[in-house]
Amino acid sequence: MKNIRNFNIRTDLWYETGDGFWLDVHGNTARIGMSPLVQETTGSFVAINLNKEATPLARGESFGSLEAEKHVGHLKAPVSGKIVTVNPKVLENPRLINTDPYGKGWLVEIEMNRFEEEKQNLLKGEVEVTAWFESEIAKYEDKGWIAES
């Protein structure tokens, strides 16, 4: 875990930089959650719906929806495959996304079928993730989405 301007970030994971998802990849399976910066700027999560297990997905397709204090919208799959596990704890308590984003606040596990092709759309590595995260914080501060730290 690395602290980047008051955000604790795991730099050992893959990140989808457009929507701010993290992916913990083991073999052909990825556990997916939301980065602390996304949850910080979205506000407290109050409701979440996730597609059922065995649902096939293409990268960019909706795998569920969420409602937070500052946002309502669809969750877009960062990789193609099928949902193999839905986190029941986050369905019961969406606030886990805010309070434990890398632990109990994960969303789904996807059995990936195009990772070798799609990983070019993801970011990994301490230097790369740190630089991206710092630039995202600056961008969000400029837009007034988070207070300057």
pLDDT digits (tens, 9 = 90+) for 94-108: 999 999 999 999 999
54: containing domain: 2-143
pLDDT band at 1 (very low <50, low <70, confident <90, very high): confident
Q: Which pTM was predicted?
A: 0.92
User: What are the residues whose beta carbons fall under 8 Å from the beta carbon of 99, sequence distance 6 or more?
Assistant: 105
Other beta carbons less than 10 A from residue 81's beta carbon: 22
pLDDT of the residue at 148: 52
pLDDT band at 69 (very low <50, low <70, confident <90, very high): confident
Other beta carbons less than 10 A from residue 74's beta carbon: 12
pLDDT of the residue at 149: 47
Q: Is the pLDDT of residue 71 over 50?
A: yes
pLDDT of the residue at 7: 83
CA angle 22, 143, 95 (to 5 degrees): 40
pLDDT band at 140 (very low <50, low <70, confident <90, very high): confident
Please give the tally of structural domains in the chain: 1
Establish if 148 belongs to a structural domain. Answer: no
Q: Is the pLDDT of residue 87 over 80?
A: yes
Query: Once rounded to an integer, what is the mean pLDDT over residues 138-142?
Result: 84
CATH of residue 22's domain is 2.40.50.100
Averaged pLDDT of the chain: 92
